[in-house]
Structure formats: C-alpha cells, structure tokens
Amino acid sequence: MKNKINKQQLILEFVSVVFAVILALVLNGWRESSALNANLVKVEKSILKEVQRNDSLIRQSHTYRGDLLQKLYSNQNLLLAVSISDLDFDVNNNSKLVDFFKTALLFGQKEYHTVQVVQEGGDRVLILDNSVFDLKLEAGTLQVLGLGNVELKIPDLNNQSWDLAKATGTITEMDIALVEKLGTVNALIETYLKTSESAVQLVYSGAQKGLMPVLEDLYNLESKIMKANSQLLEELD
C-alpha cells in the first residue's frame, strides 16, 4: 500500500514538473513574442518617420536639380557678371580680357596654365585649361556662362531603418512586401550617397568633364527614390 502511494506521489510530482516546464516555456515564448511585437511597432514607426523626412528632402533636391540641369542644358548658368563701367579696358579687346581672367579668380584661388579668349563667328568663348565657357555682352554687363560654380545641395538623408530592422530581429516578422520595398529604398539611397561623393569630388576639382553625367545620375536616382518612397509609404499605411 505504501509503495502504491509513493508511486502515485512520484507520478504527480513528475506531471507537476513537466507542467511547470511547459508553462515556463509558453510564458517565455509569449514574453519574447510580445517584446518582438512591441519592437516591430517601434521599428515600423521609425521607418515611417525616416521615409517621410527623406521624401520631403529628396523632393526639394529633385526640384532644385531639375532647374539646375535646365540652366546647364540651355547654357544659362551664370558664373560671373561684371559691369562694363567697372572695367578700365575695352571688353572687345581679347588680349585685355585674357589678362583680366588671369586675375579674376573665377573659381576661387585656382591658377590656370592656359587662359584664352577665342572668337567663334559672332561669339566668343573663354578657355581655362580644358574647360570652355561662353562670353556674352548683355545690357552693359560682361557675363561668363557655362558649367561651373555648381552648388550641389545634397540632402542630408537618413538610412538607418534597414540596419535597425536587422539589428532588432524585427525584419523576420515584417510582411515580405514591406521588407522588399524597404530593401529597395535602402539600396537606392546607398547608391545615391556614393554618387553624391563623386559629384562633390568633381565640383572641388573644378573639372567640367564628368560633372554633367553625375548631376544627371543624381537627378535620375532622386526620381527613383521618390517612387520607391511612395510605394514604401503605401505599405506602411
């Protein structure tokens, strides 16, 4: 009889231990799931805030860059304007113009090995090393027009949401469509930032060659980012 009672107690204790272990595992899983869901909500809010901010900045940049490219395409980018009345020489004298541009510091303190003013039919061009600019006399003003003195106005974009989603593990809980769209935006911004670095180097070097294609690349990337942002914002709604 005593042995029978001991067996019943052992079985009861075993069942109690198993139940306690299972309950602990369930509670632990619930806590982890609850914490992950809470993190998911926070991360998605962070993504939404970042995308909205980036979208506003990129749209402003896109408008500015479109206007800049239009000026460059139509050769209306004004680099220098000097009133003829402020000059003590005849602006129709090309050799005098050469002397002027040798000291005009058109692009800051940069010195040029070659400075020429060349007549091309009824037009004149200014040659500074390998760069060529148009010279115009308009309304009593000597104007230099062309590709140069470009203000890039690169937007200060944030690109942390992708890394945050991966670091918190919430990326595994996100809808696959959201992950794909977030990944697309992340990749486009990474490319945009690298292209911006190339543009900055070209501007500081004073080189004309290669600058227009980079400006066009930035403009096209901005268009793609705006489209990708719109799709991502729709997914976050």
pTM of the predicted protein model: 0.73
What pLDDT is attached to residue 11? 61
Cβ 137 vs Cβ 91: under 8 Å: yes
The pLDDT tens digits for 25-75 are 544 544 455 555 667 788 888 899 999 999 999 999 999 999 999 998 988
DSSP the chain: -HHHHHHHHHHHHHHHHHHHHHHHHHHHHHHHHHHHHHHHHHHHHHHHHHHHHHHHHHHHHHHHHHHHHHHHHTT--EEEEEEGGG-SS-TT-HHHHHHHHHHS-TTTT---S-EEEEEETTEEEEEETTEEEEEEEETTEEEEESS-S-----------HHHHHHHHTGGGTS-HHHHHHHHHHHHHHHHHHHHHHHHHHHHHHT--TTHHHHHHHHHHHHHHHHHHHHHHHHHH-
Percent share of the chain, pLDDT over 90 = 39
**pLDDT above 70: percentage of residues in the chain:** 80
Quick one: pLDDT band at residue 9, thresholds 50, 70, 90? low
Quick: pLDDT tens for 194-218.
999 999 988 877 666 788 999 999 9
Q: What band does 83 get if pLDDT is binned at 50, 70 and 90?
A: very high
d(Cα 157, Cα 50) in Å, to the nearest integer?
9
> Per-residue pLDDT averaged across 94-100, rounded?
90
CB 65 within 8 A of CB 236: no
Residue 80's pLDDT band, with cuts at 50, 70 and 90, is: confident
